[in-house]
Every structure is written in C-alpha cells, then in structure tokens.
Amino acid sequence: MAEIRIEWPDPEGQEIVERLFAADAALRAHFEQVAAAVGLTVPQAHTVIQLQEPQRMGTMAGHLHCEPSHVTAIADSLEESGFLRREPDPDDRRAKRLVLTEAGQKLRGRLLKRLFDGAPIISALDADQRAGLLSMLRMAQSSDRHQAWRRLPAAAGDGSCPPVPS
C-alpha cells in the first residue's frame, strides 16, 4: 500500500496509521519474498500454510477471505504441482478436503521456517519491546468495535486478550 502523507486532523493518529501501513508493507514484502523463494505465489503460499490439517474448500475460502471459486483455482494449481490432493469429505459427499501431500508438507515446513526467520518486526525488537507492542495491539483490537477486527482468529490469543463483544 502506498505511503500516505497528508495534513491530518491528528498528527499522532497520522503517524500511527502511517507506521502501521509501513509495518504491513514490510510484512507483506517478506511474505511475498518467502513465497517466491519456494516457488509459490502469495495465495498459494497462504493456502499451503493454512493446511496444517485437511480443510474443506469452503472453509479455506473463509480463511483466505475469497470466493469458493477462487479456492478451486488455487487448489488446481497446487494439485497440479503435486503439493496437495483433493479427498472426499467423509461427512458430506458433496464436499472435498484439501490435504497436503508429502511434498506439500515439506514445502510447508520450509515456508514456515523462512517466514519466521526473517520476519521484520520480530527480529527487530527485543523481548520487552515485543511484549509492549503485543499488549498495545491487544488493547487496540479488543476495544475496537470496528467489524474488521472481528476477523481475528480466536486461536491467536492465549486467553489474556478478552473476547470482542458482539
């Protein structure tokens, strides 16, 4: 996303937004680079990462925030490359589950390792700084009534982050 440099009603708010965008740009660039390094596009990499365990395609569409038809396309490409296969869902014969092949699991491992190794923010902060940043983000996200926050995965917190009121 582009830099935003404007006269803003609130200069502190401006800087926060700018820096969050910058943080995001860095993370995104990192992710893109890691994906490319193992020969995947960004959505392919997301899909592989998501596949720690078999997932129905509709569920995957939810995780990727896209339409089911797009998951079909991504799955096609990853299946063709031999990183996953479709298997029938035991509970619903309409549904298919995406399952990583052996090659897919190895790929996922490499992906995770590289992702973590170079992650910009993690490597830049010491333990105190990390804890501080994290608690701020928790505060921001738990008190925010804006609906986009609600997408935060429930599994993200360790319980210290109060649930978002509905």
Partner DNA sequence: CGCAATTGCTTCAGTGACTGAACTATGTTG
Partner DNA sequence: CAACATAGTTCAGTCACTGAAGCAATTGCG
Site for DNA in 89-148 (CB under 7 A): 89, 92-97
What per-residue string of b and e applies to 79-118 under the rule 16 or more CB within 10 Å gives b?
A: eeeebbbbeebeeeeeebbbebeeebbebbeebeebbeee
Using rule CB under 8 A, residue 72 touches a second copy: no
Name the residue nearer to a second copy (CB basis): 88 or 118: 118
Give the side-chain half-sphere CA count within 13 A for 131. Answer: 4
**CB 119 within 8 Å of CB 138:** no
Site residues for DNA, 38-77, by CB under 7 A, read 41-44, 56-59, 61, 64-73, 75-76
Using rule CB under 7 A, residue 80 touches DNA: no
DSSP strand pairing (84-89 vs 92-100) = antiparallel
From residue 119 to residue 138, the character string flagging contacts with a second copy as x (rule: CB under 8 A) and all else as - is xxxxxxx---xxxxxx-xxx
Tell me which of DNA, a second copy, none is bound by residue 68, counting a contact when its beta carbon lies within the kind-specific cut-off of 5 to 8 angstroms: DNA
Residue ranges that bind DNA, judged by CB under 7 A = 41-44, 56-59, 61, 64-73, 75-76, 86, 89, 92-97
